[in-house]
Chain A
């Protein structure tokens, strides 16, 4: 019991608690007695994890350094188009082109942000619109098929029953980024840059380089997610893939990332993505309830974003102070004296 209350107080535990709650609720309210814990349903969860996870990771990492990368959706769809167009002969070359373009675009945005001292939302908004336009121009506004059919099968081939090559890559990237964040100097520098940029700079961190690196990572991993999805779907399209920003932001925020910067872990983000993935396949399994996915996602995001807002923290601390003050006042003899 004590361990549980300790866990509840740790903010890092929040994403996992939400995940547990979602699984529990879906398990309890099960009108059609759908079996959630079959291999097929777990496979569908990991597949949606692979689609959404990498974009959420990219966005979440920029939120950790107190920035916001609006362009992840653009990277996602544009890289998919680039990979399908260039990877006709060799899928590896297409992958390289797509991810390379994403990382390069991300680094360029990071460079502009640090060089011109612009807010990241402004630069990445321009980036998003440009990338969307670019993917329209590249594809001529149509969905383009990928001639290499074998690649789709290979990318979605099951691994250990519940995973696919696509989701293994996604989980692997999360693992690598998580390890780098936890055990390397770079990870500490990223957290310091997000927590207090000036203090980090005084402590000797090259914060500009950290910003560029994180934006390159954000662009690269979002692009990787888009490339893998396009390969998996056997097609790339400039439309439809761009609506990934909403679930990505929701996953990052549910995953314990704070817009205040310096808070959040890749592991938490993975749990945040899993919450949405589980929710999606659970609601799909219940049937006819998939509209509620948007509502629940939006509700969760709204609640957590509102609760994390600085205004709430100030209100709560003022309330606590008032409570403790009123306690000390009633106990102190002076106040008793005053009351007479």
Chain B
């Protein structure tokens, strides 16, 4: 019984788990950390060897397409990282938010490029920030709220657009479609997003507070942080980066419907987790998420180049995410 009590696990759904750790022995912790680093190094080395021995990966075309696909999903993944880090696991409505913003962007394009981007941003901030407000101030469950938001977004978009595709109402998207010095503009946008988001997370009060709230809600409250505001801000950032994803996609394809960002939420959370951000919140980084995106895209494109079917890619990606989640527990050690 005593053993059972010590190994108990409390499953908090509405509040992130506290790190009330009965610290395991130092040696065990060191060993575990070393093992985790070892596993990571081996995994990355294996991936690099696998990629380098794949015929046709190191051609200009395949590298460019890799870069573009990483950039599209990467921006949404950056947004998702804010939600995960703030202790709310994931949002199932982030892909739909991106689609809506893409539609708003295209519809508002007759205001000129900056005006359209601002309109799309406002839409993304409103949709995501509202969810953050409900999650942060009312302490509602983030996943459930995002499911409700997904249904609301899909239904409203269906009513407003009459289930039709939205086409660009103006021009000016060429600059987003083009490339500079042989590198597509979307890749620059993605790198800029990575840098901005990492700076926000690491060097601003809001970012540090998000990490604090995500690692221990109660402690952050006691410290005098306004948890409601912080969670709302995290969701606002998520909305901003999902919007960037949507705008880039819209500029590329010139038309948008609700399927445009469909599945991006699952792709994004996969990248976040593969990057090593803790699903319990409170630790992680944006650059790691970027790395996670690259790893997933690299696995998928090498599988494709080696002649595996697209279906196989889905399965392998799923297994990788599952494996990473299970490994996270090994790195975490026993929590009392």
A309, B151: Cβ atoms under 8 Å? Answer: no
The CA of A295 and the CA of B152, in the complex, are separated in Å by: 5
Q: What chain A residues lie within 8 Å of B270 (beta carbons)?
A: 129
Q: Which of B8, B89, B149, B321 contacts A126 (CB 8 A)?
A: B321
Q: In chain A, residues 280-310, which have Cβ atoms closer than 8 Å to a Cβ of chain B?
A: 291-299, 301-302, 305-306, 308-310
B318, A132: Cβ atoms under 8 Å? Answer: yes
* Interface segment out of the listed B103-111, B137-145, B248-256: B137-145
Q: In chain A, residues 70-121, which have Cβ atoms closer than 8 Å to a Cβ of chain B?
A: 70, 112, 114, 116-121
Q: Which of A66, A123, A133 contacts B325 (CB 8 A)?
A: A123
Beyond A245-B147, A294-B154, A306-B134, is A116–B329 a contact (Cβ under 8 Å)? yes
Q: Could you give 15 example pairs across A and B, Cβ below 8 Å?
A: A118-B329, A123-B326, A128-B266, A133-B317, A133-B318, A136-B311, A136-B315, A140-B311, A202-B5, A245-B92, A292-B155, A298-B151, A301-B144, A310-B139, A311-B137
B151, A250: Cβ atoms under 8 Å? Answer: yes
For chain B, what secondary structure do more than half of its interface residues adopt (helix, strand, loop), or is it mixed?
helix
Does A125 have its Cβ within 8 Å of any Cβ on chain B? yes
The CA of A312 and the CA of B319, in the complex, are separated in Å by: 39
Give me 17 other A-B pairs in contact (C-beta within 8 A), A137-B309, A292-B155 excluded: A70-B143, A117-B335, A119-B11, A123-B325, A129-B266, A132-B318, A133-B316, A141-B310, A259-B13, A294-B155, A295-B155, A298-B148, A298-B149, A299-B148, A302-B134, A306-B140, A309-B14
B315, A118: Cβ atoms under 8 Å? Answer: no
* Minimum Cβ distance to chain A for residue B103 (Å): 15
B147, A249: Cβ atoms under 8 Å? Answer: yes
> CB within 8 Å of A: which residues of B?
4-5, 7-11, 13-14, 17, 89-90, 92, 134, 137-141, 143-145, 147-156, 158-159, 163, 266, 269-270, 273, 279-280, 309-319, 321-326, 328-330, 332, 334-335
Q: How large is the interface on A (under 10, 10 to 19, 20 to 34, 35 or more residues)?
A: 35 or more
Q: What chain B residues lie within 8 Å of A117 (beta carbons)?
A: 7, 9, 329, 332, 334-335
B150, A305: Cβ atoms under 8 Å? Answer: no
The CA of A196 and the CA of B270, in the complex, are separated in Å by: 31
Q: Which of A245, A295, A301 contacts B156 (CB 8 A)?
A: A295
Q: What chain B residues lie within 8 Å of A68 (beta carbons)?
A: 13, 143
Return the 7 tightest CB-CB contacts between A and B, nearest first: A294-B155, A133-B315, A298-B151, A126-B322, A129-B318, A298-B152, A295-B155
The CA of A21 and the CA of B230, in the complex, are separated in Å by: 38
Q: What chain B residues lie within 8 Å of A261 (beta carbons)?
A: 11, 13
The CA of A266 and the CA of B107, in the complex, are separated in Å by: 46
B326, A118: Cβ atoms under 8 Å? Answer: yes
B309, A140: Cβ atoms under 8 Å? Answer: yes
* Minimum Cβ distance to chain A for residue B280 (Å): 7
* Minimum Cβ distance to chain B for residue A42 (Å): 25
Q: Which of B13, B134, B312, B330 contacts A137 (CB 8 A)?
A: B312
Does A166 have its Cβ within 8 Å of any Cβ on chain B? no
Q: What chain A residues lie within 8 Å of B321 (beta carbons)?
A: 125-126, 129-130
The CA of A120 and the CA of B163, in the complex, are separated in Å by: 35
The CA of A146 and the CA of B14, in the complex, are separated in Å by: 43
Does A189 have its Cβ within 8 Å of any Cβ on chain B? no
* Minimum Cβ distance to chain B for residue A128 (Å): 8
B155, A298: Cβ atoms under 8 Å? Answer: yes
The CA of A191 and the CA of B150, in the complex, are separated in Å by: 30
Most chain A CB atoms below 10 A, which of B4, B92, B138, B158: B138
